[in-house]
Amino acid sequence: MLDLPVAVASQPIRFHSTHIPPATYDAVATALSSKHLRAGGSYSRKAKALVSRHVGHDRVFLTNSCTSALEIAALALDLGPEDEVIVPTFTFCATATAFARKGTRIVLADIDPATMMVTAETLEARLTSRTRAVVVVHYGGAAAPMAAIKDLCDRHNIVIIEDAAQAFGTKQDGRAVGTCGLFAAYSFHETKIISAGHGGALVLNSGNPHLRERVEELLARGTNFPAFARREVNHYEWTSVSSSFEMPDLNAALLYSQLEHAKEILFKSRAIWAYYERALRNLPVEILRPGKGTQANGYSFAFLAQDRETAERLLEGSARLGLGMQSHYKPLHLSRFAGQNLAGSCPGAESTWDRLVRLPVHMDLNTGEAARICDFLQADLG
């Protein structure tokens, strides 16, 4: 599968390693010599065009992180303290922070232990008359069951925001993941499958011109600068509370080079996923598999060990050998910040999160390294 040289056995294996296609050096040099380093330069336009091609429309806004993209979505929806937003308990805190910032009540939903993602049922269990939006996280580069979730939300007139931080390149029922909700947010952080070093994108899946204008003004730090740039007004002015969310052109140059190589990055990630799956399918672990109709991007290979003790033993043993395995987040409802005793409220997450083990997937991983990881797991669990 991976036609790269076999590594020296004693070298540590990194959990993540950013791929820098050779063309990146030229792109960065060109961006530097253009002297347009802030947002909106030629690489921003070129990278935006490639993300737009991926989602099938041009309502794509490059941001300096997925966190920023989620914050813009939250601001654009004008949610307040009287509103509730349902967020999966098993996610990175940014998914909730964006909405919590304005005092909106965060209601944490449980996940399906087989996928670590919310379902229509776990969301429905949290619906109240105050629910305005749900944030769906596509965990590990797979996809949540969007058809059923969309059906539920449409019936209750609830907005969907897709946190597709980990799912650029994933398809579900032939469509790019990130094209179902009113908004979707991708991450192009260094640890993601496609990287700008630090970056993200907000996707607006609605042709509503007012919403587009609102997003543009939020990106212009809460001014009507876009109208000023189009010469529709003589002066630009403060129009709302916002922040600095845009992706600088230097980062867009990195992003553009990676997007140009997205096909080979996805191909290799999926090949590594398939290699691990073949090697480990007979071990006593529950591999997280993409649902029916989903072509995952291969960003993450994760499994649930039999129990917490086994997961800890594997993580500690692999760390001693430099095998680059990792756990993942503690559910939000059990976090210090949740500030209340919510233990018992999300049994799916509670029965799984501390059994989760993730294996390295990246462009620099070679066959020998993948085999060493599988040998270690075979020796312990086989």
Ligand X SMILES: Cc1ncc(COP(=O)(O)O)c(C=O)c1O
Site of interaction with ligand X (CB under 6 A)? 65-67, 91-92, 94-95, 137, 163, 165-166, 187, 189, 200
Q: How far apart are CA 342 and CA 358, in angstroms?
A: 26
Tell me the sheet residues that pair with 223.
Answer: 238
CB of 370 to ligand X, least distance (A): 23
- The nearer residue to ligand X, 178 or 200, going by C-beta atoms, is 200
- In the numeric block, the tokens 């490059």 are attached to 62
- What is the C-alpha separation between 359 and 327, in angstroms, rounded? 9
Which residue is it, tokens 């910040």?
A: 337
Q: Which residues pair with 131 in a beta bridge?
A: 84
Task: Tell me whether strands 105-109 and 60-63 are parallel, antiparallel or unpaired.
Answer: unpaired
> Can you read off the two tokens belonging to residue 99?
């909405």
CB of 94 to ligand X, least distance (A): 4
Task: Write down the least CB distance from residue 115 to ligand X, Å.
Answer: 14
Residue that the structure tokens 């799984």 belong to: 352
Contact 201, 60 (CB under 8 A): yes
Of 95 and 294, which CB lies nearer to ligand X in the complex structure? 95
Judged by DSSP in three states, 204 sits in strand
Q: Which is nearer to ligand X, 92 or 228 (CB)?
A: 92
Q: How far is the CB of 129 from ligand X (least distance, A)?
A: 28
Minimum Å gap between C-beta 53 and ligand X is 21
Q: Which residue lies nearer to ligand X by CB, 117 or 304?
A: 117
Strands 171-172 and 159-164: unpaired
Query: What's the distance, CA 301 to chain centroid?
Result: 15
Find the radius of gyration of the CA atoms of the chain. Answer: 21
65/224 with CB nearer ligand X: 65
Find the helix packing angle between 23-34 and 42-55, rounded to 10°.
130
Least distance (Å) from ligand X to the CB of residue 300?
A: 10
Residue nearer to ligand X on the CB measure, 135 or 311: 135
